[in-house]
């Protein structure tokens, strides 16, 4: 999409179909937009996968409640605090707390953890713990939560209903509007190539991100997990995996001033280079794994997840080297949304 064109579904579809010279131009344009709006800084956020206990049964996810082969864990508050403390003074200025939709913590317990991390370490705090009521989001925001990640997963209501039993796309979108209403910097996104996804749906996904006017947008390839109902399925773009990067580039062009992370699933599909390529076609965030090593093998949303045996320090240094080797800078400061909200 180039100067003067409208952000329409047709434009998105046309860009997703780019090949040869056009594809190179698409990538170049996405990189220019990233540079123009977000600059050369890449922010590093440390993710702590603090519990794999989940009450839901999403068909795609390796830690779904129905997967009895998973050894379940929940870190306690002290261990989470200690892990967050280990980021102080490093390149990581945000801690991302992610878990299943777990009943392992009450809202108050999580609120206290947010309050302590925020008050004692000064790190920015992002949560990613699933669909919750508005009051909970408000309460956590009062405790100091800066941001929240909640993917809508797919913009196709029928596909959503099938793959996330017991919930609807409408409810998921309601949560996103609630987060915004609560004054939380809001991140969402989707999986690329869910079985049944068409290019029309992919274009709609990108458009929905734009309509939602998000602060952060995380997208990554769907990777079938053998112990799930989608275990025998393939990614919809299995024969055309370039589509994963095209999706990032079009997403950047349609959402010039959103933070776009190079998500871990890209490295699972393209070992050691997937995330670098994302940073070259629109991405500006890197999220190394900061979960204590002993838990990592039990937080497998999908197979082939990298960084299962490397320590947090090694993962961070690896991120720093990858970013610097690309001629980009490490982000300093909190790395908040650049969107002005009133």
Dihedral (CA of 308, 314, 319, 323) sign: negative
Chosen residue from 34, 56, 280, 322 binding ligand SF4 by CB under 6 A: 56
Q: By CB under 6 A, tell whether 130 contacts ligand SF4.
A: yes
Q: Which residues, 6 or more positions from 173, have their beta carbon under 8 angstroms from its beta carbon?
A: 152, 212
14-53 footprint of ligand SF4 as x/- string (CB under 6 A):
----------------------------------------
Tally Cβ neighbours within 10 Å of residue 299: 22
Q: Which residues, 6 or more positions from 247, have their beta carbon under 8 angstroms from its beta carbon?
A: 16, 192, 202, 206, 219
Query: From CA 143, how far away is CA 301, in angstroms rounded?
Result: 29
**Which of the choices ligand SAH, ligand SF4, none does residue 191 contact, using the CB cut-off of 5 to 8 A by kind?**
ligand SAH
Q: By CB under 6 A, tell whether 132 contacts ligand SF4.
A: no
> Could you tell me the smallest distance in angstroms from the CB atom of residue 56 to ligand SF4?
4
Q: By CB under 6 A, tell whether 61 contacts ligand SAH.
A: yes
Query: From CA 303, how far away is CA 226, in angstroms rounded?
Result: 8
From residue 128, alpha-carbon distances to 73, 96, 272, 285 in Å are: 17, 7, 25, 16
> Could you tell me the smallest distance in angstroms from the CB atom of residue 62 to ligand SAH?
6
> Could you tell me the smallest distance in angstroms from the CB atom of residue 64 to ligand SF4?
4
312-331 footprint of ligand SF4 as x/- string (CB under 6 A):
--------------------
Query: From CA 303, how far away is CA 46, in angstroms rounded?
Result: 21
**Which of the choices ligand SAH, ligand SF4, none does residue 140 contact, using the CB cut-off of 5 to 8 A by kind?**
none
Q: By CB under 6 A, tell whether 189 contacts ligand SF4.
A: no
Query: From CA 321, how far away is CA 319, in angstroms rounded?
Result: 5
Residues that bind ligand SF4 (CB under 6 A): 54, 56, 58, 61, 63-64, 100-101, 130
Contact footprint for ligand SAH (CB under 6 A): 60-61, 98, 100-101, 128, 130, 150-151, 153, 191, 220, 222-223, 225, 265, 301-302
């Amino acid at each position: 999409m180039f100067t003067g064109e409208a952000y329409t579904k047709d434009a998105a579809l046309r860009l997703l179909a780019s090949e040869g010279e056009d594809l190179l131009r698409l990538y170049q344009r996405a990189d220019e937009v990233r540079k123009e709006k977000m600059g050369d800084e890449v922010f590093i956020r440390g993710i702590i996968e603090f519990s794999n206990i989940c009450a839901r049964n999403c068909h795609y996810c390796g830690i779904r409640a129905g997967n009895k082969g998973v050894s379940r864990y929940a870190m306690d508050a002290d261990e989470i605090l200690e892990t967050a403390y280990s980021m102080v003074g490093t390149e990581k200025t945000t801690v991302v707390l992610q878990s299943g939709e777990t009943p392992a913590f009450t809202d108050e317990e999580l609120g206290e953890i947010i309050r302590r991390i925020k008050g004692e370490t000064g790190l920015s705090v992002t949560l990613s713990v699933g669909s919750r009521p508005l009051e909970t989001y408000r309460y956590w925001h009062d405790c100091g939560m800066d941001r929240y990640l909640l993917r809508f997963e797919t913009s196709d209501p029928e596909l959503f209903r099938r793959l996330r039993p017991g919930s609807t796309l409408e409810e998921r979108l309601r949560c996103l509007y609630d987060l915004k209403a609560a004054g939380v910097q809001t991140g969402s996104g989707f999986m690329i190539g869910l079985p049944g996804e068409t290019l029309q749906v992919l274009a709609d996904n990108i458009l929905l991100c734009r309509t939602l006017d998000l602060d952060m947008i995380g997208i990554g390839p769907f990777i079938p997990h053998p112990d799930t109902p989608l275990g025998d399925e393939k990614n919809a773009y299995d024969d055309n995996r370039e589509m994963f990067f095209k999706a990032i580039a079009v997403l950047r062009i349609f959402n010039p001033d959103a933070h776009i992370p190079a998500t871990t699933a890209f490295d699972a599909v393209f070992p050691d280079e997937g995330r670098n390529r994302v940073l070259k076609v629109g991405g500006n965030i890197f999220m190394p794994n900061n979960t204590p090593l002993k838990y990592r093998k039990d937080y497998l949303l999908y197979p082939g997840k990298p960084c299962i045996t490397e320590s947090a320090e090694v993962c961070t240094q690896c991120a720093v080297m990858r970013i610097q080797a690309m001629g980009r800078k490490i982000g300093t400061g909190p790395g908040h949304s650049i969107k002005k909200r009133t």
